[in-house]
Amino acid sequence: MTTSDGNPAIGEPAFLSRHEVSTLFGVSASTVTRWARQGLLKTLRTPGGHYRFPAEETRRAARHGTSEDGTPLGG
């Protein structure tokens, strides 16, 4: 959820972890990693090498079952 200015609502994380994304899509964390490496989901890498996914875009992709470019996602 975002506010009218496009920022995450208070209490809503701006980014999701790999585990949170796997739960959202109903797939394994390994599948989420593969999608990230293939560029199917937008991601950032932390200095420690962990993946972080923009929450709003990732939730939108989960609702539609496709990546940002329209590629179908499935387990």
Residue 10, domain member (yes or no): no
Looking at residue 3, its pLDDT comes to 55
Q: What tens-digit pLDDT sequence spans the chain (75 residues)? A: 445 555 556 667 899 999 999 999 999 999 999 999 999 999 999 999 999 999 999 999 998 887 666 677 765
Is the Cβ–Cβ distance between 55 and 14 less than 8 Å?
yes
Is the Cβ–Cβ distance between 55 and 61 less than 8 Å?
no
Q: Where in the sequence is the domain holding 48, given as residue range(s)? A: 15-64
Looking at residue 75, its pLDDT comes to 58
Residue 30, domain member (yes or no): yes
Q: What values do phi and psi take at 14, rounded to 5?
A: -75, -25
CA-CA distance, 70 to 41, in Å (whole number)? 11
Looking at residue 13, its pLDDT comes to 81
Give the domain CATH number at 49: 1.10.1660.10
The single-letter code of the amino acid at 48 is G
How many domains does the structure of the chain reveal? 1
Residue 8, domain member (yes or no): no
DSSP conformation class of 47: T
Residue 23, domain member (yes or no): yes
Looking at residue 1, its pLDDT comes to 47
pTM: 0.75
